Structure 1
Amino acid sequence: MSDENQILIPESFLDLHRDRSRTRLRTPVAQVRERYELCEDLSQQLVAQAQHIHFDLGVSEDEVLARIEQGLAQPESGFSADEARWVTRRLAELLMWD
């Protein structure tokens, strides 16, 4: 299988998988791509839920994002703490929240 893929992984996500010098990936690129696709898809799927919690339940934007990150950072979620943070930041970006 070729590593050629049209999906561009943002630097912010690649940084999660780079060594301390930020020059090489610690994780195979195929696995990074798979994790990126999972995290990006989850961010997209969480938009409606976050909007519902914020607008319908009256929870502040910061609190909505904090709750989501806290849930994703749990070991049983399958996401690393860094991925949970990335998903939450991406979600804030999609929602145009600070």
Structure 2
Amino acid sequence: MSDENQIYLPDSFLALYRDARQRLTAPLAEVRARYELCEDLAQQLDEHARSRSIHAHGSEFELLLRYHAGLAAPESGFNPAEAAWVVKRLSELLGWECPDLPGDPAREG
């Protein structure tokens, strides 16, 4: 088994790529690559957010919403569900409460 196949894909991310019958809507390799991209971005944003002074940039909610707005923009390369997942993951890493996010499948379904 290659190292690539040993990457754990959390259910919260897999849910972004499952249909009503719980089948993946994209090839597993593509889902795995998108997960790695999203998780890496959340880790990088964690470092970025920690280096920011919350007092200079508004509340934690406002900062998370700004990150989400950037990720949800069409030119970002992320779909709305991935954008919401990245920001929710970031809030977990930071230990911050996450605001309701547009495009969040958990919120809409």
TM-score over 0.5 (shorter chain)? yes
- Alignment match, 1:71: 70
- Alignment match, 1:15: 15
Percent identity over the alignment? 56
Q: Distance in 1 between matches of 2:59 and 2:53?
A: 6
- Alignment match, 1:86: 85
- Write the mapping of 1:16-35 to structure 2, written as runs, cut at 5 A: 16-21=16-21, 23-35=22-34
Unaligned runs of 5+ in 1: none
Q: How far off its partner does 1:48 sit?
A: 2.0
- Matched pairs, number: 96
Counterpart code for 2:58: V
Q: Distance in 2 between matches of 1:42 and 1:77?
A: 12
RMSD, aligned α-carbons = 1.8
Unaligned runs of 5+ in 2: 98-109
Q: Distance in 1 between matches of 2:82 and 2:53?
A: 22
Q: Distance in 2 between matches of 1:70 and 1:7?
A: 28
- Structure 2 residue 52 is matched with structure 1 residue 53: yes
Contact 1:73/1:84 (CA < 8 Å) preserved in 2? Answer: yes
Output the TM-score relative to the length of structure 1.
0.89
